[in-house]
Structure formats: C-alpha cells, structure tokens
Structure 1
Amino acid sequence: MPTYQELLAQKAELEKQIEAARKQELADAIAKIKSLMAQYGITLADLGGKAPAKPASTKGSKVPPKYRNPATGETWTGRGRQPKWVEQALASGKKLEDLAV
C-alpha cells in the first residue's frame, strides 16, 4: 500500500498531466476552428464576435445621494435602512420629496 506522501506525489503528477492535456486539447480545438474559418472565409464579425457581457452587479457600487438633511447636510442615497434624521423628519410630517437633493 502506498504511503500518504507517495499518493500526494502521484496526485501532483496527475494534476500536471491533466493541465498539459487540457492545454493541448484547447490548442488543437483553436487550430481546428481557425482552419475552418479560413477554409470558409468566416470572420469574427460573422460569428457575432462580441465580448461576453458582464453581469450587472450593483453590489459595492457608489450611488449619488437622493436626500439631504437641511439642518446638518447629512445625505442618504435612498438605499437601505432610513437614517434617524429621515425617520424623525417623516414623523414630524415632512415628505421624502421635501428632503430630496
């Protein structure tokens, strides 16, 4: 029975072989595609060669403030929980439109 260290060494060797095989198959596929494109006169434009669209992510993006506290100048983007000054202003009868920037 092989030892733990021998098995780890075998695993590392297999991972190298897997990566080499993947790179070779990828290179072969690209060469075949280029050959077919040349044979039939196909261009990237014919294939709709646009870069894949990145998914829209709003996480972590900065947004301009929508509301401002007239007394202190504090701002709020309108996202997330309302700040205390907004809650107090609404409780006193003001509307969000009154605090709009």
Structure 2
Amino acid sequence: MPQESFLTEKQEIEKQIQKLQRKMRTLHSRQRRPVINSIVRSMQEYEITPEEIAQAFERRQKRAITASKAPARYRNPQTGDTWTGRGRPPRWITDAEQNGQSREQFLIKD
C-alpha cells in the first residue's frame, strides 16, 4: 500500500511540474512577442532585410570567437591558471599585486 501511495504522489508531482513548465513557456513567449514586434518595426523603418541581420549576427559571432582565441600571456605557477591580459584581471593577479608582487613575474616566456 505505501508503494502505491508513493507512485500516486509522484505522478501528481510530475503533472504539476508539466503544468508549470507549460506556464513558463507561455510566459516566455508573451515576454518575447513585444521585443520581436519592436525589432520588426525597426527593420521596416530603416529598411533592414533579414539577410542583413543574419550577416551582422555572423560577423559578431566571428568577432567573439576571434577575440576569445587570444593567447594566454600570464600563468599562475601554483595552479596553472592563465590570463590573456585582456579584460578584468583574475583574482590571483590582483591578490599578487596587492602583496607587492609584479605582474611581469607571471608572464609566459616562450
């Protein structure tokens, strides 16, 4: 008997999960609709074609990939973690600098 009760409760919970997932999809769709409409209006206003959007999107992706392929310039000798020298310095660099160490000591020498 306890096994049947467990299965019934489990089925009820699964139904509730499915119902909540449907609600989430509906909510997500409702939130996206005005954004999409705004994009379409802007495209019409500025005579932008879907092909131009696709090309711009591809260029942006290529740029992001190229930017992320920057070689590492600094290495933490204790952990092996690396940093390209771009963007915000990792904690191990900032901690070392606060302790009076030079960033140059972490440079990767080829």
Q: Give me the TM-score of the superposition, normalised by structure 1.
A: 0.41
Which structure has more helix as a fraction of its residues? 2
Q: Give me the TM-score of the superposition, normalised by structure 2.
A: 0.38
> Considering only CA atoms, is the larger Rg found in Structure 1 or Structure 2?
1
